[in-house]
Amino acid sequence: MRSLANRRVTNGEWREFISDGGYRTPTLWLSDGWAWVQEQDIGRPLYWRDDETEFTLGGRREIDWAAPVAHVSHYEADAFARWAGARLATEAEWEGFAASVDPMMGNQLDEAGAVVPRPGGGMFGDVWEWTQSAYLAYPGFATARGAVGEYNGKFMSGQMVLKGASCATARGHSRASYRNFFTPAVRWQFTGVRLAQDA
């Protein structure tokens, strides 16, 4: 039996990962991820600062330790999951879990909304969630003609799938089957983590 957490990993939990040496423990990391951490001198989420503030679209602010962690790479998400004794969900697991959830819910981009992850939340909004699934074609996929086909088809190499939506996703744009995708080292987007476990 498999299960997904009912919430995302928080900034406070990420601080524990850092304090416990998560960025200095090679056994937690995928091989390419460990090389990336060493070469880029990575030791915290992208916009965190030493004074416990973070850079946001609204300027610097104190880190909200109860909010979901954001701006972490697939490599970091995977290492955190190992540290927590868990794993990242597959894309299929995530979709199955989210199938009955209203994708209009959650902290997503509204005209008057703040573009910042908030504590709480459900399956959609706040941060995109890394999965362990590679961005490959669904069964029966055929590349469409024109720009749409070029956009989808040509990126199915070396990318990892993210699910959900973020606080920067326009409300109404997301659905359970919607896919985002980035290479494993990308951190600039509102990317976070939901843990999965085999029970």
Query: Could you tell me which of 163, 189, 184, 186 has the C-alpha nearest to residue 29?
Result: 184
Q: Which residue has better confidence, 150 or 56?
A: 56
Are the C-beta atoms of 159 and 73 separated by less than 8 Å?
A: no
What are the backbone dihedrals phi and psi of residue 169, each rounded to the nearest 5 degrees, phi first?
Answer: -95, 130
Q: Is the pLDDT of residue 138 over 90?
A: no
Q: Which residue has better confidence, 141 or 80?
A: 80
**How far, in Å, CA of 42 to CA of 83, rounded?**
17
State the pLDDT confidence band at 137, using cuts at 50, 70 and 90.
confident
- Residues 6+ positions from 92 with CB-CB distance below 8 Å: 133
Task: Give start and end residues of each alpha helix (H) in 60-146.
Answer: 74-83, 91-98
Percentage of the chain lying above the pLDDT 70 cut: 95
Task: List, for residues 67-116, the tens digit of each pLDDT value.
Answer: 999 999 999 999 999 999 999 999 999 999 999 999 999 999 986 667 89
pLDDT of residue 113: 64
**Vertex 18: Cα angle to 4 and 43 (nearest 5):** 110
pTM: 0.93
**How far, in Å, CA of 184 to CA of 88, rounded?**
13
Residue 157 lies in a domain: yes
Residue 185, domain extent: 6-198
Q: How many C-beta neighbours within 10 Å does residue 172 have?
A: 11
Largest CA distance in the chain: 50
Residue 1 lies in a domain: no
Number of domains in the chain: 1
CA distances in angstroms from 105 to 4, 121, 166, 172, listed in the order given: 18, 8, 11, 9
| CATH code of residue 34 | 3.90.1580.10
Residue 86 lies in a domain: yes
Q: Is the pLDDT of residue 1 over 50?
A: no
Residue 166 lies in a domain: yes
Strand partners, 56: 59
